[in-house]
Each structure stands twice: as structure tokens, then as C-alpha cells.
Amino acid sequence: MNQTTPLKEELLQRLEWLIYIRWAAVVFIITAVLAAIHIFKVALLGLPIYLIALFIAIYNAGFKIYLNQIRTKSLLTDNIRRFAITQSMLDIISLTIIIHFTGGSENPFIFYFIFHTILTSMLLSKKESYLQSGIVCILAIWLFIFEYMGILPHHSIKGFLGTDLYKNITYVAAISFVFTSTIFIATFFTVSVSEKLREAALKLLEKDRLKDEYVKMVSHDLKSPLASIQSLLEVILGRFAGPIDGKVKEILQRIQKKVEFLHHYTKDLLDLSRIRAEKNLNIKKFNIKEVIDTAAEIALPKIGEKEIQLNIDIPERFPDIEADKELLTYVFLNLIANAFKYTQSGGKVWVRLSQADNVLMIEVRDTGIGIPAEDIPHIFEEFFRANNVAKTTKGTGLGLSLVKHIIERHGGRIFVESELGKGTVFTFTLPPTKT
């Protein structure tokens, strides 16, 4: 069963961030070595450093592939953390070898280990962070001592430093102490800040959960009375309770519209709270065309007298997908209904499906009124409505927020492009079906 908890999503995002930083590190290493050798005329053995950079690039590519795969799997947070530890250990070994070939204890860039320690400590537990720092310090001190004793050959950076500091026991002891203390101080501050941030995040999540429970309870309590009021108004307006004059009928119709809006509002609040409170997704394999057809059938009556052409483009033999069928139906219903709602008569709406880069791509496009550019960054926020429709069209501003939440719970992402007066395109991705 595929689900993404806040802690799991945080770890995955930081791992992805670490992978991007590692690509930058590979470029930096190669550029720095080329500049040192050819511009500053520093005597370095370029080949072993280039090979290590290649090794880093290879395992980083493997990590990127694996990260894309685990986004679609129900891995525990501990499994993801072990993946982070594996990355960290390979980085530490690679950095130690690079330091060895670039001057060992004489290389001032050895303190770049601090950046790696800080970045990975944000991913790991307190115990794991200090253990990692201990391994870094042990490897560095062993390197310094082995070069001092002649067990490992020392690769001087001639042209940069003129003295053989690695042979000076006082220097070796001093650099070992300074390096170790710096690493552990950096770890202490990083772990302290990370723990406080995690505690604050957990408290916010708990408050958010309590808020959702409260909204769910209130919405549920309001829904039944509103439904009763709607039924009574229908009886009165249908003249089943006797004749009514024109003025009273007009007032009752206005009341009916307000009650109908409140009913939809409480329903959206209830849906939002219920879905956000659900811990597990009801994952099943199904034909996505059936879901789109169902959503379109429900949305079509809302067009009214407008003539809008709906085109559904699904490739032949499109594979079944694995998702929560009820929630995905809500996604399509909301996006298609919005497209109908904000498209003028004579307009068109398209639903297109494709598969690329190992993900499913779903696009809902319309030729409607569009979204103002300044509103696009806020379009998925709760209760937000675009300026060009807020005063003219009824709505709760909750639908797209819920759509985004559902898609992200499935491990996907949603994007929007729009041009005012020309239309809007909502594109979302879903992980591929596991074979």
C-alpha cells in the first residue's frame, strides 16, 4: 500500500536535495582539479581524483533511480533512513580518498567534511549523527597517522604548500584535534536544531489533526440540519404545502441558494477533514477510463445550457493503475467540473493520459476564462479563490486543495499553467503500476 507520511516525505525530499548537491560536488571536484593543475600549476595526480569523481557520479545516478522507485513503495521510515546512511558512508569514504590524493593533512579543504556532516545530520537520528561524525574523525586521523608513519604514500600539493607538514607530529596532532572538535561541535549544533524543529513539526501536525477532527465533527453536525432545510424548502417551493405569492417565493429561492451553498461548503469541509485524517489509502487496481467516464457523467449536468465539447484521449491498451479509486474519482470530478464551470458555451475540455519517464501523466485542459498570473502560486491553498471568479461564481476554495492533497498522498505531483482569457491546464503525475 502506497502512502506518504509527513516524516517520510521530509526524508525523501532531503535525500533528493542531497543527490542534487552531490552532482554539484562532482562538477566542483573536476573543475577544481583542472584549475589547480592547469592554471595554478599545482602538482596533483589527476587520474585517481577523476576516477573517484566518476565513482561518485555512478553511485549518485544509482541513488537517484532507487529514490524514484521507493517513492512508489510502502517503505518504512527506518528503511529510508538506512538508505541515507548508505549514501553517507559512501560519501565519507570517497571524500577521504580524495583528501588522501590532494595532500592529506596538508589539504585545507579537509574542513569541507563539515558541510557533509551538517547535511547528513539533518537526515539521521541523534545517535546515527554522532556515529557518523566518529567515523569521519577516525578515518581522517588514521589517514594523517598512516601518512606520517609512511604506511600510506603522501601526495604533496607542490606549488601550494612548500613544507612537509604531514611529517610534523605537532602539526598532525593539532590538525587532528581541531578537525575532530570542529566536526563534533558542528554535529552538536545541527542535531540540537534538527531535534527542536522535528518536535515543533510534530506538535504542529498534532494541532492540525485536532483541527481536522473538530472541523469534521462540526461539518457533520451541520450537514444533516442543512439537508433537512433543503428538503423543507423544496416542499414549500413545490407548493406541496400550499400556494405562495411571488415575493415570498423569490425570498425562499434566495434562501434555497444560500442553503445549497452552505451544504456544499460543509460537504467540502467534511471531505477535506475525512481524507486528511485517513491514515491508509484503499489501493486497488482498476481501469482509469471507467473513473474518468464516471466523473464526466456526474459533472455533465452541471454544464446547464452551455454547449461544451468534452474530449477524452486515452491510448489504446492503456494499463490499469493502482490507486484509491474513490479519491481519484474525486480528483477527476473536481478538475472536470471546474473546467466546465469556467468555460464559456462553445468551449472545449480535454482529458489526456500518457506515460513518460516511468510516471503516468494526466492532463485536464480547457479553453475557459483562465487564472490571473498573480493567483497561480496560491491556487492550491485552502479557501483561496482566483480574483476573476471570487465575486461572480460560487465556490468554497477547498476543491483544488483537496485534489493536491490526494495526488501527493499517492506519491504524485500536480502543476497548473494558465493564460487569462485563453484557458487552463492542470497536469498531475501518478507513480506507475507495480508489475
> Hey, is 158 helix, strand or coil?
strand
Predicted local distance difference test score (pLDDT) of residue 72: 58
Distance of alpha carbon 380 from alpha carbon 378, whole angstroms? 6
DSSP state of 333: H
Bridge partner list, 245? none
If residue 77 lies in a helix (H) or strand (E), which one and from where to where? helix 77-101
Distance of alpha carbon 188 from alpha carbon 222, whole angstroms? 51
Mean pLDDT by 10 residues, the chain (435 residues): 58 90 96 92 91 97 88 67 92 96 91 92 92 96 96 85 84 96 96 91 80 74 82 80 79 85 79 75 89 90 81 88 91 94 92 85 95 94 86 81 91 92 94 68
Predicted local distance difference test score (pLDDT) of residue 2: 45
Residue-wise pLDDT tens digits, 218-245: 777 777 888 888 888 888 887 676 777 7
Q: Which amino acid is at 385?
A: R
Single out the residue of 212, 228, 313, 239 nearest to residue 262, CA to CA: 228
Distance of alpha carbon 313 from alpha carbon 64, whole angstroms? 32
Predicted local distance difference test score (pLDDT) of residue 202: 82
pTM over 0.85: no
Single out the residue of 357, 372, 309 nearest to residue 336, CA to CA: 309
Q: Domain 281-428, what fold?
A: Heat Shock Protein 90 (3.30.565)
Distance of alpha carbon 77 from alpha carbon 259, whole angstroms? 45
Domain boundaries, the chain: 2-166, 281-428
